[in-house]
Amino acid sequence: MNLGSCRRFAGAVPRLLWNISGTVLPRTPSTAGRSLTSSHVKSHPCWTSLLQVSRFSAAPQGTDVTYKQLKQLLAGRTSAVIDVREPWELREYGFIPGAINVPLGQVKTALQLSSEEFKEKYGGEKPQQTDNIVFSCLAGIRSKQALDAATSLGYKEAQHYPGGWQDWADNEKHK
């Protein structure tokens, strides 16, 4: 969530945030009796620390892949692309050539199968934990969830295509 969309919470944020020493952020005389704006919160010394903490997640930095990058990965066969939509969505809307379909609800289990079981069930090679994987879906929501699931299983080179099928189809029709 960006700072601009947090403005409605600005009055409550300073009372709720804790600084490193464990004390509640103080209200200064200049802000007493009125709601604090995001600029007041941003100017507090703890803001930088809070922003640094909020950047931590299960997924590594740089996990988003653009259309151009995905095309290069597919052309070079340097990445496994896993589409986490349901099979009916692929039939109805289309799919990225070369992608393996593993519905989101099955991703965690699928990545724990043996290579033989994975290939038999999903028709493609199971990516290893050191392989580059790109997850895709319709618009980037489910692919992010799949990325988080893969990362929790130790897949260090996992990424996702936030534009998903919608972005892919738009880019492909403009060629």
Q: Which residues are catalytic?
A: 137
Distances (CA, A) of 28 to 6, 95, 102, 105, 146: 21, 56, 54, 49, 44
Q: What are phi and psi of 24, to 5 degrees?
A: -70, 140
Measure the CA–CA gap between 94 and 85, rounded to whole angstroms: 11
Q: Give me Rg for the CA atoms of the chain.
A: 21
Task: Give the residue among 128, 78, 139 at the shortest CA–CA distance from 104.
Answer: 139
Task: Give the residue among 136, 71, 78, 66 at the shortest CA–CA distance from 107.
Answer: 136
All residues at 6 or more sequence positions from 129 whose CB lies less than 8 Å from its CB, including other chains: 153, 154, 155, 156
Contact 174, 68 (CB under 8 A): no
